Structure 1
Amino acid sequence: MSTDAVSSDPTPGGIPERPPVSGPLSMGVEEEFFVVDAQTRLPADSGPLLDTVRRDGSEHYTAELRRCMIESRTGICWSLADLRADLRARRDTLIGASAEKGTAIVASGTYPPADWREVGFTPQPRFDHIAKAYARIAEEHLICACHVHVGVEDRDTSVEVVNRVRPWLPVLLALSASSPFWTGDVTGYASYRSTIWARWPMAGMPPTLSSYADHCDRVSRLVGTGTSADAGQVFWDVRPGTRYRTVEFRIADSCTTIDEAVLQAGLSRALVHQCLTEIAHGDPAPEVSPEVLHAAKWRAARFGLEEKLIDPLACELVPAAVLVNRLLDHVRGPLMEAGDWTEITGLAYGALRRGNSADRQRRAFADGGLKGVVEQLITETTTTEPRR
């Protein structure tokens, strides 16, 4: 639940010049975690943990809507190595402080044994307003996500990028899916978080936008009609950054491992780079119908990497591995230029071999029930060394 506020500062003078991409794009990641009691493994109050990690004035951590959740934020990173180190530092700080407070952190889209009826809201005026305005939707909002920011300075250009990356969002979701359980039950979904998220009236795939002024106008209408509490509560799956001059990817479940967070960031940055190259060359944006995008996202949430997914550009069902390879082919140039090809392809193929977090959770459930899932999630969340 971002507290960002959108600024209505479209670039003056109409369409700006579009020079080719030069050098790496900046990126940053926001990770949301569940905080659980170290003994009972039930959701715990994140307040003491937040006080501990912020006692030195750190702005890398913030409260979330529900009391048992906490968010961490990396700084601005220019390479995957820097990003990985920052993600590791943020998690290590939380891990150390959690041990001090008798808690543990869990990175997953949903927390398998959690019951939304037993977890309160964080006491903040904005969160109080959201809880009252949205009633049961807010009450059941016990989910965690991973957001990736990629730097795009020009606001109109960021809107063009948003229009172009939408067909690739479902495969990003499939790779990150980490929420197959809800209130102790098997849901049949790889990302049940997505179905919870979709119920908000301002969530989902963004519309096709003509300019940043158009974006600001649409956001203003949502806020003005009371649909959104503020501009930061326009929960599109990708959007122009509200506080920063970025393109913000919001499609992913909370990434259980650092490897999975790095994969999301690397692919997101490469997608933005590819879009900027296409814009500089004057290439037309792909045309994809809203209903196909919606169907593709639903199928990714339902099946993750286990079944066929919809390629929105080709409008066909293909094996998940085929769609992952099509994404890698699409961003091969940016990945090669940034020196990220080997790492990102290794992480992507590793996900196809081992499964996403949802797949691994299901295997743990088959072996040890919900307790086995929880223990595996805590282990994977707190293992900050890269997987070999």
Structure 2
Amino acid sequence: MSPAGVIGASFGVEEEFHLVDPESFALVRAPALSARALDGGAGPHVQPEMLTSQIEVATDVCASLAELRAALVSGRREAEQAASWAGATILATSSHPFASLSDIQLMDRPRYGALVERFGSLVTQFNLCGCHVHVGVPDLDTAVAIMTRARPYLPVLGALTGSSPFHEGRDTGYDSFRLAWLALWPQGGPPAVLGSAQEYTRAVDELVASGLIEDAGALLWDIRPSSRYPTLEFRVADVCTDVEDAVLFAGLVRSLVRTLGARTLDQPLSLSDSLLRAARWRAARFGLTDSLWSPRQAKLVGAHDAIEDLLQELRPDLEEHEEYEELAQLLKRLLLKGTSGDAQRRSRRRGSLVGVVRDAVALTAGRSQE
């Protein structure tokens, strides 16, 4: 995905969507659409997901922010067309605010049956969507080195995208209930501190031998080397309801990869697993409304200060690639309006959870209801 030896020259995004009824906004099971997507008949970028009430869109490989934005908009249109075939529309929030777990249905595939056998209700109670950003790297050693150095940045990155405050009709108290839920999985959360491709391969082999996973593709780490592409895959983000927030997140992630890639001979920032998990929990719980861990200051600071620290750390790289002004404006916009989770709570105060979904569906399609 990246020209030989060039870190971060290309990137791409995978977005997962819920399928909902365009009138009632309830979750829609669409097993025929899942099967169609599996066979490639739902569109060139549309793929099935674990649940028959979800689909995924993967962009082509992109080189610029403008190219990525166009790919995301086009991908959502393609997903909307695929959903309409099943009498549904798409919802870009990580949780469906009022769906019951009894509404969900796993795709009828052996791999998902094996997951239920292994993990029980962690699978059958998982009704959450995410956004995955792939950044091109030249080799596995580079991917592992950057992954280890990126660990302290995961909480502040995750706080930018919370879109799952409601679950099963209740306010969870979290901006990203999805991040909190993923921490329950034994192969979820932040990656281990690994020093080389060899250490990464050994860690995967040990997890396979333990019976926890079948292969590296089953890791649910917040960031991991992709098992399919020559990329480093950031999985910490909720799916962004607003396309511009997705562009912002992907742009910051790619800049972080480029920045850390230039430091691969430096000693990684020291942050214990326990402190990282605590910082990650805080990001999931409060989003942009409380304190966040700032790697630059190595302490908790106000959320907006932590984000400004991140932007200034990335500024030399962003200016070099002529992306600073655009991402700084998008970041300012996000801090003014808040996350999708904040928007959903404002919508809830105006009315019902059905209205929350209605507003989010409109924003998914680029029509703001606020």
Q: Does 1:37 align with 2:17?
A: no
Which deviates further from its counterpart, 202-211 or 223-232?
223-232
Q: Write the distance in 2 (CA, Å) between the matches of 1:162 and 1:236.
A: 10
The residue number in structure 1 matching 2:306 is 323
Q: Does 1:126 align with 2:111?
A: yes
The residue number in structure 2 matching 1:47 is 31
Q: Does 1:309 align with 2:270?
A: no
Q: Write the distance in 2 (CA, Å) between the matches of 1:93 and 1:109.
A: 19
Q: Write the distance in 2 (CA, Å) between the matches of 1:247 and 1:227.
A: 22
The residue number in structure 2 matching 1:81 is 66
Q: Write the distance in 2 (CA, Å) between the matches of 1:313 and 1:372.
A: 40
The residue number in structure 2 matching 1:350 is 333
Residues 130-141 of structure 1: pairs in structure 2 closer than 5 A: 130-141=115-126
The CA deviation at 1:46 is 3.4
Given candidates 340, 345, 349, the residue that maps to 2:323 is 340
Q: Does 1:113 align with 2:98?
A: yes
The residue number in structure 1 matching 2:235 is 250
The residue number in structure 1 matching 2:86 is 101
Q: Write the distance in 1 (CA, Å) between the matches of 2:41 and 2:220.
A: 31
Percent identity for Structure 1 against Structure 2: 38
The residue number in structure 2 matching 1:6 is none
Given candidates 165, 177, 200, the residue that maps to 1:180 is 165
Q: Write the distance in 2 (CA, Å) between the matches of 1:244 and 1:141.
A: 26
Residues 16-27 of structure 1: pairs in structure 2 closer than 5 A: 25-27=9-11
The residue number in structure 2 matching 1:164 is 149
Change (3 A) 1:43 1:349: same
Q: Write the distance in 2 (CA, Å) between the matches of 1:140 and 1:119.
A: 8
Equivalent position SS for 2:351: helix
The CA deviation at 1:229 is 3.4
Paired AA for residue 109 in structure 1: S
CA contact (8 A) 1:130 1:229 kept: no
What's the C-alpha RMSD, in Å, of the aligned pairs?
A: 2.0
Equivalent position SS for 1:41: coil
Equivalent position SS for 1:176: coil
CA contact (8 A) 1:288 1:313 kept: no
CA contact (8 A) 2:248 2:327 kept: yes
The CA deviation at 1:23 is 8.3
CA contact (8 A) 2:164 2:175 kept: yes
The residue number in structure 2 matching 1:18 is none
Given candidates 132, 136, 145, the residue that maps to 1:151 is 136
The CA deviation at 1:310 is 2.4
Given candidates 232, 236, 239, the residue that maps to 2:217 is 232
Change (3 A) 1:111 1:57: closer
CA contact (8 A) 1:177 1:190 kept: yes
Q: What TM-score, normalized by structure 1, do the two folds share?
A: 0.89
CA contact (8 A) 2:40 2:47 kept: no
Equivalent position SS for 1:256: coil
Q: Write the distance in 1 (CA, Å) between the matches of 2:243 and 2:214.
A: 32
Paired AA for residue 322 in structure 2: G
The residue number in structure 2 matching 1:383 is 366
Q: Write the distance in 1 (CA, Å) between the matches of 2:35 and 2:69.
A: 25
- Unpaired runs of 5+ in structure 2? none
Q: Write the distance in 1 (CA, Å) between the matches of 2:22 and 2:295.
A: 43
Change (3 A) 1:52 1:384: farther
Q: What TM-score, normalized by structure 2, do the two folds share?
A: 0.94
Equivalent position SS for 2:350: helix
CA contact (8 A) 1:150 1:246 kept: yes
Q: Write the distance in 2 (CA, Å) between the matches of 1:175 and 1:271.
A: 14
Q: Write the distance in 1 (CA, Å) between the matches of 2:196 and 2:227.
A: 15
CA contact (8 A) 2:43 2:82 kept: no
What is the number of equivalent residue pairs in this alignment? Answer: 365
Q: Write the distance in 2 (CA, Å) between the matches of 1:209 and 1:313.
A: 21
The CA deviation at 1:117 is 2.3
The CA deviation at 1:218 is 0.8
CA contact (8 A) 2:94 2:239 kept: yes
Which deviates further from its counterpart, 92-101 or 82-91?
92-101
Paired AA for residue 263 in structure 1: L
The CA deviation at 1:104 is 0.8
CA contact (8 A) 2:46 2:79 kept: no
Q: Write the distance in 2 (CA, Å) between the matches of 1:366 and 1:29.
A: 32
Given candidates 261, 264, 268, the residue that maps to 2:246 is 261
Q: Write the distance in 1 (CA, Å) between the matches of 2:41 and 2:122.
A: 35
Paired AA for residue 283 in structure 2: A
Change (3 A) 1:348 1:278: same
Paired AA for residue 343 in structure 1: E
Equivalent position SS for 2:80: helix
